Amino acid sequence: MMKKLGGAILALAVTAMLHGCGDERPIPGQTSPSQTPLAAGTYKLAFTAISTARLDAPISGIDVAIGLPTGVSLDTTTGGGSGQIGPGALATGNAIIGTGLAFGNYSVSTHRAYLSMATTQETYRSGNFLLMSFRVEPGAVVSEYDIVTLNATYPRYKVVGMDQATHSSVVLTDRVKTTLSVIR
């Protein structure tokens, strides 16, 4: 009887701890996105990966597609038009140690950015993986809340890892959640 009761309590505790995994609540310790309009100027989007289950391999690459509201612009190699995001506007995040690549494209007509991060790090499983600079244009009324809610569920994202034993790719998308936040 005690084993069954102990097992039930353990199952209930695990369920309670995992309740909320995968939803759009803020990460513990983070505040909800501000609805106060951002002043005109330069900001960064910080992209973070959070493991929601055991990963079979470390993360070696993440692709995300995000939407940006009207009044937000990116530096591109075409001078702000559609095209490759400029080298100074995109960088790997602080959780990426060693070799990391960050690259992406932006479409002005759809207000979508397609971003990729790749790393040779053999221990990356969670944390900040990408930083992207953007500008809020003068006269635009855009808040952190607008950006975060526009991307509450990314239109598209994919996470892959490299299995060191078999030297093959492993899709990890269903075990990793990506989030974003605005920083100045």
Per-domain boundaries in the chain: 40-183
Chain segment 124-134, per-residue pLDDT in tens? 999 999 999 99
The answer to whether 131 and 90 have CB atoms below 8 angstroms apart is: yes
Which are the contacts of 92, defined by CB distance < 8 A and separation ≥ 6? Answer: 100, 101, 102, 117, 119, 129, 130, 131
- Domain 40-183 sits in CATH at 2.60.40.680
pLDDT at 83: 96
pTM of the model: 0.79
How far apart, in whole angstroms, are the C-alpha atoms of residue 33 and residue 170? 33
Given a contact cutoff of 8 angstroms between Cβ atoms, the answer to whether 130 and 59 are in contact is no
Asked if 169 contacts 162 with a C-beta cutoff of 8 angstroms, the reply is yes
Mean pLDDT across the chain = 84
Q: How many CB atoms lie within 10 A of CB 95?
A: 19
pLDDT one-digit tens code per residue, 88-110 = 999 999 999 989 999 999 999 99
Contact 128/39 with Cβ under 8 angstroms? no
For the chain, the 3-state helix, strand and coil shares in percent, each to the nearest 5, are 15, 40, 45
Which pLDDT tens digit goes with each residue over 20-70? 333 333 444 446 888 999 999 999 999 999 999 999 999 999 999 999 999
Q: Are strands 156-163 and 83-84 parallel, antiparallel or unpaired?
A: unpaired
